[in-house]
Amino acid sequence: MPRSIITGIDIGTSAIRVVVAERNGDTIPKILGTGMSVSRGLRHGYITHYDEAVKSIRLAFRAAEKAAGHHIRETFVGIGGITLGSEGRRGSSIVSRADGEVTDLDVRKAIADAETKLEGPNHHAIHSAPIRFYLDNREVLGRPYGLKGTKLEVDMLFITSLSQHVNDLERAVEDAGVAIADIVPAPLAASMVTLSPEQKIAGVVLANIGSETISICVHENNAATSLKVFPIGGRAITNDIALGLKIPLEEAEDIKCGGEAACRYPARRLNEIIEARLSDIFELIDGHLKQLKRSGLLPAGIILTGGGASIARIDELARSMLRLPARLGIITGQEAVEYRPEDASWAVAYGLCLWSPENEDTQVLKHWFRRNKQAALDLMKRFLP
């Protein structure tokens, strides 16, 4: 029986991480090996120097292949960057059956109607998720299939990215010699291995602190409800330390991550510098939560991941500034295996390995159009004059 090998690649601004895993039945994929390379040719998550980016991606793949002892042919790609965002749209359809029973066709028509309302010709919807359904103006608790009514409505969350950004990443991965299985929003991939079902149901925000961006994803009622990326990250803290203490960037980075160099400088001054920038970061996060009317109202709090989450006392500061429970994210499900990621900075790459095969938790988030593009076009024509 052929082995089921799954690969995920997280293309970040400071590092590119690849995880190769093997799935055996319904068990959690076992990590066979990982590979990492320093990112070149990227800025705020998008490609600025194409050839350098391709070389960095290829180096990460080769390192993962060597560690796993397996040739990588196909990969799931996590996409992030400042052009990533979310839009909510409502679509509707009239129930087609004479007896009023809601069918799969009615759901697809409602989703198609919501997608036609997306704005911006330069943005590409890479992912969509139904948040809630309504039948004759009453919210449906669960799935609408089999219920009877006249008008079906659906609230959809669309995660979009700049089309040029998506195309560049796809081309770079393929030019590195690996085919693409799917493009997945990085925050959703990370949530697969850092958030529990209980947290997603109660209400939680996952914050991934990268080098130049911070992405947050809010989950409620076991569904992603909002995604936002801010053009600031851990590198800003490094720059602040370097300027504040008048030291080289390399030493400032070591201090930020809790290295021994921190002992040579006044702790009070260092804390002031770090807390000032973290205050700015958490104000941005809280501002988005206020727009959602969820500021201080997410019972499962905030989970911090990414390289920037290694800053000392960051969870304490998040708890104080956001008025929410806060903790550092950990990758779950790999406690019993010999080879596993070192920290939650690997959450995106490993989470991508759980994106397949299709199951209800992930594929309710994948809209029908990507599986059947021609049928989608035919269906959308029905709504055109």
| CATH code, domain carrying 262 | 3.30.420.40
189 and 206: one domain? no
- Domain count of the fold of the chain: 3
Burial of 328 (0-12, 13-18, 19+ CB in 10 A): middle
Residues belonging to the chain: 385
233 and 281: one domain? yes
245 and 302: one domain? yes
244 and 320: one domain? yes
Identify the residue whose tokens are 């006044």: 266
Q: pLDDT tens per residue, the chain (385 residues)?
A: 567 899 999 998 889 999 999 987 666 788 899 999 999 999 888 899 999 999 999 999 999 999 999 999 999 999 998 899 999 999 999 999 999 999 999 999 999 999 988 877 788 889 998 999 999 999 998 889 999 999 999 999 999 999 999 999 999 999 999 999 999 999 999 999 899 999 999 999 999 998 899 999 999 999 999 999 999 999 999 999 999 999 999 999 888 877 888 888 988 999 999 999 999 999 999 999 999 999 999 999 999 988 888 888 899 999 999 999 999 988 875 543 444 455 678 889 999 998 854 443 334 334 334 434 444 445 444 444 4
The set of residues, in sequence order, having a beta carbon less than 8 Å from that of 93 and lying 6+ positions away, is 106, 107, 109, 110, 113, 151, 152
100 and 224: one domain? no
User: CA torsion angle for 271, 277, 278, 282 (degrees, to 10)?
Assistant: 150
Half-sphere exposure of 178 (CA within 13 A, CB side): 31
Q: Which domain holds residue 51?
A: 4-82+164-193+334-363
16 and 154: one domain? no
Q: Closest Cα to residue 349, out of 20, 13, 40? A: 20
250 and 272: one domain? yes
For residue 197, cis peptide bond before it (omega within 30 degrees of 0): no
91 and 203: one domain? no
286 and 172: one domain? no
Q: Identify any residues that bridge with 6 across adjacent strands, giving them in sequence order.
A: 21
65 and 133: one domain? no
Say what the pLDDT of residue 356 is: 55
The set of residues, in sequence order, having a beta carbon less than 8 Å from that of 59 and lying 6+ positions away, is 16, 35, 37
Say what the pLDDT of residue 306 is: 84
Say what the pLDDT of residue 103 is: 94
169 and 69: one domain? yes
The H or E element that residue 53 is part of is helix 50-68
31 and 145: one domain? no
Say what the pLDDT of residue 312 is: 80
Say what the pLDDT of residue 54 is: 97
Say what the pLDDT of residue 261 is: 81
CATH of the domain at 122: 3.30.1490.110
Say what the pLDDT of residue 2 is: 63
Q: Identify any residues that bridge with 86 across adjacent strands, giving them in sequence order.
A: 159
Say what the pLDDT of residue 308 is: 83
